Amino acid sequence: MIHLLKIFIVFSLSLLACSCSFFNDESRTGVSSSLVDYLYPDGERPSVQKDATPHLKLPLTVGLAFVPSRHGAANMLPEAKKTQLLTQVKQKFSDLSYVRDIVVIPDTYMRSSKGFAGIDQIARLYNLDVIALVSYDQVAISSGRKSSLLYWTIVGSYVVKGSKNQATTFVDTAVFDVNSRKMLFRAPGISETQNNSTLVEMHEVNRETREEGFKLAMNDMSINLASELEQFKKRVKQNDSVKISHRNKNGGGGAIHWSALLMMLSLAVLKTIEDKRLFAAQRNHYRPR
């Protein structure tokens, strides 16, 4: 009996040592996208008219998109989640009087081409005036907590909260005028998230922690974006670095001013009166005497 007890103690200590080694291991993963690499693929430097003044015709049609990460990158944010996050940003700015529409650009279109040439194609497809590109950088860490070892048992190991999941997420939105290819302004956002999980829940909780990190970072970015937008409006009023004009109400160049319309109606009425007068004169002329 004593011999069996010794075997059990040795086995338990060995298992404890293994668990200690397992939980002290730290798993670090990351995912990112680069605005510079996307706009200037393969070291390209597209020609940009340095002296060109951005001309914004209000109301604007704005494109909103994530800068895609590399193909096959681990822990990529799913496209459905990207669309959801961008839609939430869209809703926060959809009531601006000088914005006609905000279009969420699918990730597939962003991956199909790169550089400003690719942006031009997307802009023609959606009739965009301005595009906001969201790049990101996230580092996620999963590690064991020493306190969890006090509660480690053979049978109930999966019940113990033995893994700490944390993520640091940074997003940056750069707003470009499509025609001049000049950046108008930018706004960052950052978040730090942390959750504990059981052994069997570790991967799922790690995914949820990363997605929560993106959500909080995008919320922070939206707040900063609203502030930067107000500062941009002040800069436009103070200098001529950006030209602003207003579209006709029908969105084209054929809108008729009310005074011109009134004149046309007046001419139509006068013509009608003149036609009636001529008709009456002709009728009197041919009437039998």
Residues 249-262 as b/e (b if ≥16 CB within 10 A, e otherwise) read eeeeeeeeeeeeee
Model pLDDT for residues 8-25, shown as the tens digit of each residue? 444 454 444 444 444 445
Q: Which residues make Cβ contacts (< 8 Å) with residue 245, sequence separation at least 6?
A: 55, 56, 57, 58
Taken as a whole, the chain contains a residue count of: 289
How is 231-248 classified by DSSP, letter by letter?
HHHHHHHHSSSSEEEE--
Q: Which residues make Cβ contacts (< 8 Å) with residue 57, sequence separation at least 6?
A: 129, 245, 246, 247
Closest of 170, 175, 174 to residue 217, by C-alpha: 170
CA atoms of 25 and 79, how far apart (whole Å):
31
pTM: 0.72
Closest of 126, 132, 138, 123 to residue 92, by C-alpha: 132
The DSSP call for residue 98 is: T
Q: What pLDDT, on the 0 to 100 scale, is given for residue 253?
A: 37
Bridge partners of 246, per DSSP, are 58
Q: What pLDDT, on the 0 to 100 scale, is given for residue 166?
A: 86
Q: What pLDDT, on the 0 to 100 scale, is given for residue 42?
A: 79
Q: Which residues make Cβ contacts (< 8 Å) with residue 207, sequence separation at least 6?
A: 75
Pick the CATH number of 26-246 from 3.30.420.40, 3.30.420.80, 3.30.160.150, 3.30.450.40: 3.30.160.150
Q: What pLDDT, on the 0 to 100 scale, is given for residue 203?
A: 75
Q: Which residues of the chain have pLDDT under 50?
A: 5, 7-11, 13-24, 146-161, 251-265, 267-271, 278-279, 282, 285-286, 289
Q: What pLDDT, on the 0 to 100 scale, is given for residue 129?
A: 98
